[in-house]
Amino acid sequence: TYLGYPNTTGLDTIDYRLTDAWTDPEGQTEHLHTEQLVRLPHGFLCYQPPIECPEVGSLPVLTNQQVTFGSFNNLSKVTPELIGYWARILTAIPSSRLIIKSKPLFDAGTRDYVYEQFKQHSIEAQRIELLGWLPDTSQHLTLYNQVDIALDTFPYNGTTTTCEALWMGVPIVTLAGQTHVSRVGVSLLWSVG
């Protein structure tokens, strides 16, 4: 199967699935697969950054005295439950803000929906910056220079976005679950030490 497909194929014509001990701990997920799981010793994923990458910037908090969280994941991974978790983080750090970047956020109705979800947790729209898709990879990666700490999605963790954040020098906070898709963050963080 291709990059990012996190489940069994269900096909008896595919014998193996490459994974690791962090995304699929031994004894926990075998019953969910028709394939035999082969756990690679150094992580299941390879990441190669673009050839031309922007410079890694200083942490924004050093100049603006405000912690900026960020998530550039697919918006379909941002559930109302996850927004509740993120709102708790923003509430715990009252001067903090959050940047969410995802292609659907170009739409005003989608932005209004996300703002409303945060409003239900008493988080004002001024603390949330919603950005749509950027056509240039360099612009996308440069945006990480505005983020102090990346927030992973749950229960479906980021993969490429997690790699990008780490490549751009941004630490990431992830929450581990019981399935492959909710343990990718753990695997990637273990791989980078």
The order of strands in the sheet holding 128-131 is 128-131, 97-101, 68-71, 149-151, 172-173
71 in any annotated domain: yes
What are 4-17's pLDDT values in tens digits? Answer: 688 899 999 999 99
Per-residue three-class SS string for 76-131: HHCCHHHHHHHHHHHHHCCCCEEEEECHHHHCHHHHHHHHHHHHCCCCCHHHEEEE
Number of structural domains, the chain? Answer: 1
pLDDT of residue 3: 63
Is pLDDT of 129 > 90? yes
For 184, other C-beta atoms within 10 Å of its C-beta total 28
What are 150-186's pLDDT values in tens digits? Answer: 999 999 999 999 999 999 999 999 999 999 999 999 9
**Phi and psi (nearest 5°) for 68?**
-115, 120
163 in any annotated domain: yes
Residue 145 tokens read as: 């220079």
pLDDT of residue 25: 96
161 in any annotated domain: yes
Closest CA to 177 of 166, 187, 190: 187
pLDDT of residue 117: 98
Query: 1: pLDDT confidence band, cut at 50, 70 and 90?
Result: low
For residues 68-87, average pLDDT: 98
What are 20-73's pLDDT values in tens digits? Answer: 999 999 999 999 999 999 999 999 998 999 988 999 999 999 999 999 999 999
35 in any annotated domain: no
149 in any annotated domain: yes
pLDDT of residue 2: 56
pLDDT of residue 64: 94
CATH number of the domain residue 186 falls in: 3.40.50.2000
41 in any annotated domain: no
What are 92-118's pLDDT values in tens digits? Answer: 999 999 999 999 999 999 999 999 999
What is the reported pTM? 0.93
For residue 171, the enclosing domain spans: 61-192
Handedness of CA 16, 22, 23, 27 (dihedral sign): positive
107 in any annotated domain: yes
30 in any annotated domain: no
Q: In the block, which residue shows the tokens 């399935």?
A: 179
